[in-house]
Amino acid sequence: MQHLVGGISSGGRTVPDLEGRPFLVDRAQGAYVWDDQGRRYVDTALGFGATFLGHNEPVVTEAIREALDRGSMPAYAHALEEEAAASLAAHTQDLTKVVFVNSGSEAVHLACRVARAVTGRRKIVKMAAGYDGWFDDMAFGNAGSAEAKMAATERPAQGDTLLLRFNDSQDVERLFEDCDDIAAVVLEPMMANAGCILAAPGYLHHVALVARSKGALVIMDEVLMGFRLHAGLASHLLGIQPDLATVGKAIGNGVAVAALVGTQEVMAAFENRGVTRAGTYNGNPVACAAVKAAMHALDRVDYAALQQSGNDLRQHTVDAFAREGVQVCTSGYGTVFTIWRGPNPPSNYREAARMSDADFTARLHVALRRNGVMSMFSTYGRHYLSARHDDDVLQRWAGATASAAREMAAGPAQR
């Protein structure tokens, strides 16, 4: 890799060399990826959750081909843009207005811009250790940073960004007592990048209630969790009604597309208050074709069965390690989860930071990889299921997990 900086364009793609060889994907199909040596692996990273329908879902791929044949990048409005927006809005309840962008980071940035215009305030609150994109303001306090741990007396801030301690209801009260310039609170249905930490019962409702009572908007960052638990927003499934939501990943099944969706009242700020939105590739025909086709395909997914399959796999993982005398647990949902050392998963980031075991997760990645399963190489890594992870795929994954548990119990392997 002489020219590509670090050999990758996104830091999350880092995986170690194995037996002196880097891992390079040659192709991907359904639930599998193949390396440049022709070896097939069950894929549990799935584009960091983007290819929820599986790699190269035929309905989406064909729609993309048709869009390419008709012209990939006009400078003008095209019919697919409204058709894609309508198909997305049909799944997001009262969030019926849509702006397409190209990444989740852009969508969150745009949501914050709208919130400031609507409220006339400047401050944006995000969860400590939450991931809401890589732009400077929202990258503050990400998992792994010193600020994310937040001692009880701290309120870390950078510019107009403030941090809120996840699953701490009293911290919400303190936050709004101390600051009256909060435009919006950005919430995630689950703290995915901190290790799939679930919200405590009633916590998200409490944050939303307090925020609204103080005149702030509620932004749900659903770039990862949107369309993963059902064919719609996770927040709606959990009973939360946000003012704005950001979506991406699953809505295009691997195509670079994201969107901001919001209520008609809030999104009117783009026209009434002149909120800037721009982007050469925003709403391009290829992305819109993918969204429209993906929405149709997502309506046919048996989410209940998929969640059950994933939860069965989680239990199999716990049992496989227990047979080798190693105690592990999992956190998250059936379609996306994290594996932890210990009897109980973390309930907040401070616990997650204490429980994190970089050596264990690195060894797990290598052991799974030797047994034909590719996973994220990260201390807070996640394992995803796609709609194409059928019984045969899941059996292969389960078998690889059992083999990995035996190998790890026997001692560290050489890379």
pLDDT tens for the chain, 415 residues: list them: 678 787 778 877 788 888 888 889 999 999 999 999 999 999 999 999 999 999 999 999 999 999 999 999 888 889 999 999 999 999 999 999 999 999 999 999 999 999 999 999 999 999 999 999 999 999 999 999 999 998 877 899 999 999 999 999 999 999 999 999 999 999 999 999 999 999 999 999 999 999 999 999 999 999 999 999 999 999 999 999 999 999 999 999 999 999 999 999 999 999 888 898 989 999 999 999 999 999 999 999 999 999 999 999 999 999 999 999 999 999 999 999 999 999 999 999 999 999 999 999 999 999 999 999 999 999 999 999 999 999 999 999 999 999 999 999 987 655 5
Same domain assignment for residues 37 and 125: no
Encoded tokens for 45? 């990273």
The residue among 273, 298, 323 that closes a domain is: 298
The residue among 270, 298, 326 that closes a domain is: 298
d(CA 169, CA 190): 16
Same domain assignment for residues 15 and 133: no
> Where residue 357 sits, what CATH number does that domain have?
3.90.1150.10
Same domain assignment for residues 294 and 307: no
Q: Tell me: the pLDDT tens digits for 297-308?
A: 999 999 999 999
In sequence order, which ranges of 243-387 are alpha helices (DSSP H)? 264-267, 269-272, 285-298, 303-323, 349-355, 358-370
202 occurs within a structural domain = yes
The residue among 257, 272, 298 that closes a domain is: 298
Is residue 375 within 8 A of residue 369, CB to CB? The reply is yes
> Where residue 217 sits, what CATH number does that domain have?
3.40.640.10
Encoded tokens for 139? 């990258």
Same domain assignment for residues 282 and 343: no
Is residue 289 within 8 A of residue 64, CB to CB? The reply is yes
Encoded tokens for 363? 């060894």
Same domain assignment for residues 217 and 342: no
Same domain assignment for residues 147 and 218: yes
H or E stretch covering 409? helix 391-410
Domain that holds residue 210: 59-298
227 occurs within a structural domain = yes
415 occurs within a structural domain = no
Q: Tell me: the pLDDT tens digits for 305-358?
A: 999 999 999 999 999 999 999 999 999 999 999 999 999 999 999 999 999 999
H or E stretch covering 112? helix 104-119
